[in-house]
Structure 1
Amino acid sequence: MTVRTRLIVLLCALALLAGVATVSVLRAADRAERRDRVVPGGPTVTSGRVALSGGDGGLLVFRNMAWGPHRDELTTVPADRPDGERTAGGIKCLRFYAASGTGICLQAEHGPVQDTYRAVVLDARLRVTARYDVPGIPSRARVSPSGRFAAWTAFVGGDSYAGSDFSTRTAVVDLRTGRLTPSLEAYRIVRDGRTYRAADANFWGVTFAPDDRTFYATLGTAGHTYLVRGDLQTRTVTTVRTNVECPSLSPDGTRIVFKKRVKDLPPDAPWHLYTLDLHTLRETPLAEPRSVDDQAVWQDDTTVTYALPGDYGADLYTIRTDGTGTPHLLTRSAVSPTYLN
């Protein structure tokens, strides 16, 4: 290689590095500008103390999506005043859930070329007690009612449940012992009474029962989705029913609300919300006409909360679980809700 050729290669390399640095600076500047821009007429958000324990009448905690210095932070409002002034605790999450004073927060670490992700465990005062690497874009998060177990789902291939070209990884951790199962694919699958093995098995959308043993989740394989009942002690999952995604177990453990693919709906918006009675396996369609791509959260024994796209990312709505009523806008610019009593 001649001196002239080496010089050209060096100049090209320097130009490439300069380009990468410029893109990184512009990305950071754009994020900062959008983060700090307060939209007139939006919710009032102030810094303060956020605790994962209920106040008088209970609390609603969620990821704040309103533009401004507190965008993406965990915020809290009284459960009976969801449109009230928001208090932001300084912790940013892409997905969040909490129970019994324990929270799981899925975060992004912004790098110069690509982002990485992690799950952090929070105590009742939002102090970090543990960290785990997450292998892809965070999608779902849950904590068991006792606060002992946490689970999260990430996309490791593709970025949407709507198509068929995605792959997920769902982890479960015992926060008492620290034992981490990086993927539910390590569990034995039982379908129709027999062990089932498939290279394309994917799990997502864990929801825990109060007994610290039973959970429900979605299994996707061979072009089908199944509701599975899992056992944390025997490390098995058993199929219960087809065409069930992102189940959410009721407080009394007798029903789940889930999203179901409905024939003839658009490919990018194929779901309808249903309630499933776990004893009779009877399904009830909910009175939400729009496609919901979310894992609903039970507000109480009769109502669930879920997110739909909004002007600044997402808005929260509620609907009755018996199929009656109409959707109700709970609050704007919010996602990943948790009710704390």
Structure 2
Amino acid sequence: MNTRILVTATAAVLLGGVAVGYTALSATPDTDDVATAPSTGGDRVQILTNGRLSSVDRTDPTGPRNVTEQRCDRAYEAAGTISCLRPVGALKAGELAVLDKDLKERRTIPLTGFPNRTRVSASGRMIGWTLFVDGHSYAANGFSTSTGILDTKTGTTVMSLEEFTAYVDDKPYQASDVNFWGVTFTADDNRFYATMSTNGHRYLVEGDFAARTIRTLIDNVECPSLSPDGTRIAYKAANNGDPQQGWRLSTMDLKTKTITPLPETRSVDDQPAWLDDDTVAYALQESDGTNNTWTVPATPEGTPTLYIPNANSPSP
């Protein structure tokens, strides 16, 4: 069983009057050990601490952290491939850095916007990312996102899913207000799920990377995350279909379309991650702007548990 997850600690700052997330630069705890690469053997859990790639013991996630110097605003790891959305610099300029398990850069892609989501396929081949180009909240009107995919094996890069042909209810669809976010990959490294918003809808879509097509499946699904067994997605559902009322963490069976609200009743504005087929992890922002990573059973019953404090962007 994979014993690593990847998260990033964040704080909040007012930027132009809008609250956005940024990587906290405060000193790490005295118990942290600075390392050149995260320890990934045995039962270590890979995380980001104060925006730096780190690892902790999976059986003691609040214990001492093995901290590296690699900084990311958002990150995700699978099969030795790390996707690192680097902090925004001047004029919203940042980059996607593709790192190997030793934190050596394999490739970088210049990007413009505020880092928001990233995912790596289970094989480590495919990388997806989302940035806010305008706005900083999915609950606001007029926001704009940019979502792309990289095939690390062939080098094929799609800078925007808006390049794909979209189908709504099996009919070709074009509109100026289309936005995509929250990619999650299937085991075949070709198909993926994501969110497409348009005309007041926030659809779960299924994409075909080779065919360059996207098709809507069901409404009111945001930031999907495919379960390890490939049968369910975890996602955030807008309360009463209105993001301004917050979101409820839920799962959906892809075959039956059965929806199960999870026993986390606080509003979750995150792309959840499956730690295993029974446990979902996600970040919640506190009143002081910091984020903590929580877990909840993927069932209607159970209790949310604080898993890793001062951390977000979990990756199993």
State the TM bucket, normalised to the shorter chain. Answer: 0.7 to 0.9
Unaligned runs of 5+ in 1: 1-30, 65-70
Q: Deviations over 1:146-168 (max 9, x none)?
A: 11110100001111111122010
Please tell me the residue identity of whatever aligns with 1:304. V
How has the CA–CA distance of structure 1 residues 294 and 142 changed in structure 2, closer, same or farther, with 3 Å as cutoff?
same
1:83 aligns with 2:70: no
CA gap of 1:312–1:221, structure 2 versus 1, over 3 A, is closer
Q: Alignment partner for residue 246 of structure 2, among 270, 273, 290?
A: 270
Indicate yes or no: 2:146 matched with 1:169: yes
- Which has the higher Rg, Structure 1 or Structure 2? 1
CA RMSD of aligned residues (A): 1.9
* Residue 179 of structure 1: how far off its partner (Å): 1.2
Alignment of 1:44 with 2:21, yes or no, is: no
Q: Which amino acid aligns with 2:252?
A: L
Q: Which residue of 1 aligns with 2:77?
A: 98
User: 1:139 & 1:337 partners in 2: Cα distance?
Assistant: 13
Contact 2:83/2:97 (CA < 8 Å) preserved in 1? yes
Instruction: Show the 5 A alignment for 1:256-335.
Output: 256-263=233-240, 267=244, 270-310=246-286, 311=288, 313-335=290-312
Pairs within 5 Å for 1:216-295:
216-263=193-240, 267=244, 270-295=246-271
Q: Deviations over 1:93-117 (max 9, x none)?
A: 0000011100100012534xx5421
Structure 1 residue corresponding to 2:48, chosen from 60, 63, 67? 63
Corresponding residue pairs, total: 293
Rounded Cα–Cα distance in structure 2 between residues aligned with 1:83 and 1:49: 21
Per-residue deviation, 1:178: 1.1
| Amino acid paired to 2:304 | P
State the Cα deviation string for residues 218-256 of structure 1 (Å, max 9, x = none): 000011100001111111111110000000000000000
1:70-122: CA deviation from partner (whole Å, max 9, x where unpaired): x21111112222111111111000000011100100012534xx542111000
1:155-206 Cα offsets, whole Å, 9 max, x none, are: 0111111112201010101111111100000111111121111111110000
Partner of 1:144: 121
- Tell me how far 1:50 sits from its aligned partner: 2.9
CA 110–233 in structure 1, closer or farther in 2 if over 3 Å, else same: closer
Considering fraction of residues, name the structure with more strand: 2
Instruction: For residue 185 of structure 1, give the secondary structure of its aligned residue in structure 2.
Output: helix
1:210 aligns with 2:192: no
2:89 and 2:97 map into 1 onto residues whose CA distance is 16
Structure 2 unaligned blocks of 5 or more: 1-21
Report the secondary structure of 1:263's partner residue. Answer: helix
CA distance in 2, matches of 1:264, 1:138: 25
One-letter identity of the residue aligned with 1:35: L
Q: Percent identity?
A: 42
Conserved in 1, the CA contact under 8 Å of 2:88 and 2:114?
no
Q: Distance in 1 between matches of 2:297 and 2:26?
A: 36
Partner AA of 2:225 in structure 1: S
Instruction: Provide, for residues 31-59 of structure 1, a one-character-per-residue CA deviation record: whole Å limited to 9, x for no partner.
Output: 9xx83556xxx68322014348x4213x3
Residue 11 of structure 2 corresponds to none
Q: TM-score, normalised by structure 1?
A: 0.82
Give the match for residue 107 of structure 2.
130
Change in Cα spacing, 1:72 to 1:324, as seen in structure 2 (3 Å) is: same
Change in 2 beyond 3 A, CA 1:96/1:266? closer
Contact 1:43-1:83 at 8 Å conserved across structures:
no
For residue 108 of structure 1, give the secondary structure of its aligned residue in structure 2.
coil
Distance in 1 (alpha carbons) for counterparts of 2:182 and 2:243:
22
